[in-house]
Structure 1
Amino acid sequence: MSEQVIGSGTAAPRNIPIRKRDSNSTVAIRVRNVSKSFPGVQALRGINFELLSGEVHGLVGANGAGKSTFIRMLSGASVPDTGEIEVQGSPLLFDDPRLQSGAGIAAIYQELTIIPEMSVLSNAFLGKVPSRFFVTDKRRMERRFAELSEWMGLKIPPHANAGSLSVANQQMIEILRAVQTDQNVLIMDEPTAPLGPYERARLYELIGRLKESGVAIIFISHDLDEVLQLSDRVSVMREGLLVETRTAANWTKDTLVQAMLGDVQIVPGSKRTHASDQELLHVSNLALPGRVSGLSFGLHEGEILGIAGLVGAGRTEVLRCIAGAEPSAQGSMRFVGVDCPWPRTIREAIGRGIVLAPEDRKRQGLVLSRSSLSNLMLADLPAVAVGPVIDRSKTRERGTALARQLGFNPERLDAEALNLSGGNQQKLVLGKWLNRKPRILLLDEPTRGIDLGAKQEIFQAIRRLSDQGMGVILVSSDLEEVVEHSDRVLVMARGRQIDILDGHDATVERILNLIFAVESRASDAGVS
């Protein structure tokens, strides 16, 4: 494989390649009575907040609670209407976002800012390139990159094209970029969302070492278990308010959910006891040179088939092969009982009724500058056209029906997709393909960066679709999510199929045991 996954399995070096800070529990950031509004929306309401040096401060809340607006303000991308912010005792100025970097604040956003056409090395030093006599000091860049990569446990070639990396490794380059700037405050917005269990463990170690060096960290995640595990204190936001702050030991997962959602109740999902005997899809000996080898499985009508594995196992590649996005894929396919050639293009797969909702919804799933309604219609414009002209009335009627089916507020159909929460954007991606009425829906990380309420709505919609006979293949880095919502689970490691488990027999522990048995044998054999 051309790209090695995160982590070497060895302990991190003792010498920390960033300067030691004198924390002494000083206040790194103090926010007083900060408010912010946008047309029709009061995003923040009188926020008061303190972040201590050497502290990991968890920040949680449902989508739309105001977290993103708050951290954009701290990083200089947004200006408060009222209130004041101090960094290390000095007022924060908003004349130029670069001043925030000068004040010692670095942010890692949920949506990646990697430039795909540039090298890994150039991306790692984007915005802060070391120079000597006004000329880029490439040797210094390479030396610093190697030092930080070793410290972080990364094995990513510095001169590789950044666009060729997995989303997980792109995320780690974003984190390396923030760490190399040697800032006092680090804001992490859903940094573990694209990572598997092993990669998350490496990041947790890194956060611990940054904390020991005196860096103050704001940690935002919808994974409440990791928030409680990593944080010293946790603050909860709801509807633009900071409703409560407690030490992590004084929160539980249940009390966090209660504080986040207020009166909203989460209803547990139900699993199917059986699927139809009708097989929609049968894949035999699927292979993608250098990445996937020898997969054979079936998908039944009305079934949700989960694919579980660590980052780099080949899960996304399997979906892309089935969706016709990998022309070099090899294997045999039987669709609704009929043998057919392997799809070589996305158009060919769509023609058979196979569609893919990709992991990167912003860059691959939506046209962000277009309205929600336009995005819902994108995959099947002829269905709402009269000759060459789009029928606005039919478009509105169809879009409203799709929105209601997915729990999307029809009143927001005219809003640009760019301005929606992650949960609502994901609903648009699903709705776009539902408009095509596919037979098979391929879902790659459908709940990445989405709050508990939106996750529930999305999985309820997916289960309703499977109840109507649609076949679904689900990939998620959250193994609990795969186990909870899948009727069967295909387990992968190192590009190969290990086992297929019945949904009622699948547990996170069993899946990890299967995976790590393969990883251990590969390690003993010296396979990289």
Structure 2
Amino acid sequence: MDTLAHSNSAAMSQASTGVGAPLLVATNVSKSFGGVLAVNNVSFELKAGEVHGLVGANGAGKSTFTRILAGAEIADAGTIRRDGRDIAPATPREGRLEGIAAIYQELSLVPERSALSNVFIGNLLHKGPFLDISAMRKRYAEINAWMGVNIPPHAVARSLSIADQQMLEIMRAMQGRNAVLVMDEPSAPLGPKERAKLHALIAQLAGMGTGIIFISHDLDEVLTHCDRVSVMRDAQLIDTRPASEWSKASLVTAMLGQASVAEGTVRSHYGSDVLSADNVSVTGRVFNASFSVQAGEILGIAGLVGAGRTELLCALAGAEPRASGRVKVEGKTHSLPASLQQAISSGIALVPEDRKRHGLILSRSSLSNITLPNLKTLSRFSFLKRSKQRQSGESLSQAVGFSPSRITAVSGKLSGGNQQKLVIGKWLYRRPRVFLLDEPTRGVDVGAKHEIYHAIRQIANDGAAIILVSSDLDEVVTNADRILVLARGRIVGELDRAEASVERILKLVFGVTGEQASE
């Protein structure tokens, strides 16, 4: 889009030395928190027009390092040079003034504000002493069109899907006309269609001279869309190579210091039906979904963002007031649960998409969170038995691969993978018959993913029925025993383990017939 390309002339001029010239150089950067090294003597170079992948397990130091570059953290030692000048941004605002913006893994929107307000927070446009609302609306429309999204400027942020909220985060960084853009897991909440738009956008930005630091746990994405890839492990930068010189296997080995953990064995025999859904609908989003899931089975639900996957899980969990239909659990048929508590009493537990907002109390300890649903059974005469709580918490932690030594840590300070383990683990004590898992590995590193996959398979092996929703279609194909394909709120197909593939899922989603596929 010509108007937007012109508006990015600042990035172009700052990269005037040409694509490939050093744009941002960090030398011997270190940062400690409470005596623990989070970033240890890291040196890193970003070139103009380059998409530079930065990968590593959770806790490797990636986010802390990039927060230092953007001014959200202050380094203890080391230097940062931008276009040959020493800089030391002490706040994100100072970082933006240096042309460095960041899109972090965790959303930072103001939920009650409009989409327009969120995009221009911290960078309002003025006409003299007054806000220039007209100019902001025009700029918003330009970015909206260029990114290929259609988010109304008046829409309240909390009413939007996670994918649209992530697009707002990207729009906020885009409107600032920055020469350096840090993207921390920008595609994690996006479906295939939205990811394709994001990748096209990244390519356009790089073509205009913007240097992009791209953090992702999707190694296929990193290898496909990045020019160079750097690996961090244990707070250090281990290696940097052109993307063509890396493979998924070599990246995993560099990240973990060892070969990746093998995935769990898929079962072929299950028990009887644990849950049967009959004509489950959610006004305007899900239409007459009927299916069943058996004891010990992992049922995957695949589809694009907006297909109705989350709404379907929420309907089964009593968290969707617009839902109708009936459900049978353990042979007992009744209306859909009217509340989360009613669903839990029926043996249905939901692990929600947004672990921070809906899965954890971030200010409380890991122990408090993982034992929260079980306080009644861990108490006597309304007094909590601390020793029993600790014993229960450590046992649940071990079951999901969470280190009991971190049981007293504040959950809000944990990595995404450890937080997700707590959200899953807190239900194990109650032994629900049905687990509803919505994006259980979003924003989780490779090592933690395998631990979560192992925990999920163990839960199934213990006899529970699992319904797994994920925007990562490879994840669904790899871990599900059977897959329902959802498109535009309707079940459009079912694939068993032997016939499932990403290609077949997408053909069902887009309605591609056998004849069309062979053309």
TM-score bracket, shorter-length normalisation: over 0.9
437, 459, 466: which is aligned to 2:460?
A: 466
**What aligned pairs does 1:45-84 form with structure 2 within 5 A after superposition?**
45-84=40-79
Per the alignment, in what secondary structure is the counterpart of residue 342 of structure 2? helix
- Tell me which of 39, 45, 64 is aligned to 1:44: 39
1:470: how far off? 0.6
Of 400, 419, 434, the residue aligned with 1:440 is 434
Post-superposition shift, 1:15?
Answer: 6.2
Identify the residue that residue 87 of structure 1 maps to in structure 2: 82
Matched residue type, 1:154: V
- 1:517 counterpart SS class: coil
**Which among 463, 479, 494 is matched to residue 485 of structure 1?**
479
Contact conserved, 2:263 with 2:453, CA < 8 A, in 1? no
Q: Which moved more, 1:391-400 or 1:36-45?
A: 36-45
Shift of 1:435: 2.6
CA contact (8 A) 2:301 2:483 kept: yes
Other structure's SS at 1:219 match: strand
Equivalents in 1 of 2:90, 2:436: separation in Å? 45
Q: In the TM superposition, what whole-angstrom CA distance separates every residue of 1:220-262 from its partner, at most 9, and x where no partner exists?
A: 0011111111111110001011010011111111111111111
SS at match of 1:383: coil
What CA distance in whole angstroms lies between the structure 2 residues aligned with 1:341 and 1:297? 15
For 1:382, what is the secondary structure of its paired residue?
coil
Partner-residue secondary structure (3-state), 2:510:
helix
- 1:107 to 2:114 alignment: no
Q: Aligned residue for 2:174?
A: 179
- SS of the residue corresponding to residue 477 of structure 1 reads coil
Compared with structure 1, are the counterparts of its residues 518 and 114 closer, same or farther at alpha carbon in structure 2 (3 Å cutoff)?
farther
Instruction: Tell me if 1:150 matches 2:139.
Output: no
Residue 49 of structure 1: how far off its partner (Å): 0.6
Identity of aligned residues (%): 52
- Tell me the equivalent position of 1:457: 451
Q: 2:349 aligns with which of 350, 355, 360?
A: 355
Answering whether residue 411 of structure 2 is matched by residue 414 of structure 1, we say no
Deviation at 1:377, TM superposition (A): 1.1
Secondary structure of the residue aligned to 1:435 is helix
Give the equivalent residue in structure 2 for 1:201. Answer: 196
Going from structure 1 to structure 2, the CA distance change for 1:473 and 1:231 (only over 3 Å counts) comes to: same
The answer to whether 1:397 aligns with 2:391 is yes
Q: Which moved more, 1:503-512 or 1:236-245?
A: 503-512
Which ranges of structure 2 fall in alignment gaps of 5 or more residues? 514-519
Matching residue within 124, 127, 131 for 2:119: 124
The answer for the alignment partner of 2:324 in structure 1 is 330
Q: Which whole-Å deviations, capped at 9, do the CAs of 1:100-119 have from their partners, x for residues lacking one? A: 11000100000011111111
By how many angstroms is 1:54 displaced? 0.9
Mapping of residues 10-409 of structure 1, within 5 Å = 16=5, 18-20=7-9, 21-22=12-13, 23=15, 24=18, 25-276=20-271, 278-409=272-403
Q: Does 1:476 align with 2:470?
A: yes
Q: Which deviates more, 39-48 or 207-216?
A: 39-48
Paired residues in the alignment total: 507
2:517 is matched with none
- Taking only aligned residues, the RMSD between alpha carbons, in angstroms, comes to 1.4
Tell me the amino acid that sits aligned with residue 312 of structure 1: G
Q: 1:81 to 1:274 in 2, by over 3 A?
A: same
Whole-Å separation in 1 of the counterparts to 2:457 and 2:168: 36
Measure the CA separation in 1 of the matches of 2:490 and 2:57.
37
Which secondary structure state, in structure 1, belongs to the residue aligned with residue 300 of structure 2?
strand
Distance 1:17 1:167, change over 3 A: farther
Which residue of structure 2 lines up, in the alignment, with residue 5 of structure 1? none
* Aligned-partner Cα distance in 1 for 2:269–2:87: 58
Q: Which amino acid aligns with 2:174?
A: V
CA contact (8 A) 1:368 1:417 kept: yes
How far apart are 1:406 and its partner, in Å?
1.1
CA displacement, residues 57-94 of structure 1 (integer Å, 9 cap, x when unaligned): 00000111110110111111111111111122222224
| CA distance in structure 1 between the partners assigned to 2:134 and 2:193 by the alignment | 31
Runs of 4+ with deviation above 4 angstroms:
12-15
- Measure, in 2, the Cα distance between the counterparts of 1:62 and 1:375: 23
Q: CA deviation at 1:135?
A: 2.0
Offset of 1:18 from its aligned partner? 3.1
CA contact (8 A) 2:53 2:229 kept: yes
CA distance in 1, matches of 2:157, 2:474: 30
Alpha-carbon separation, structure 2, partners of 1:269 and 1:394: 32
Cα gap change, 1:514 to 1:96, in 2 (>3 Å): closer
Contact 2:69–2:89 (8 Å) recurs in 1? no
CA distance in 2, matches of 1:313, 1:171: 17
Contact 2:4 2:142 in 1 (8 A): no
* 8 Å contact kept, 2:28–2:42: yes
Q: Which amino acid aligns with 2:192?
A: P
**What's the CA shift for 1:501?**
1.4
Structure 1 gap segments, 5+ residues each = 1-11, 520-528
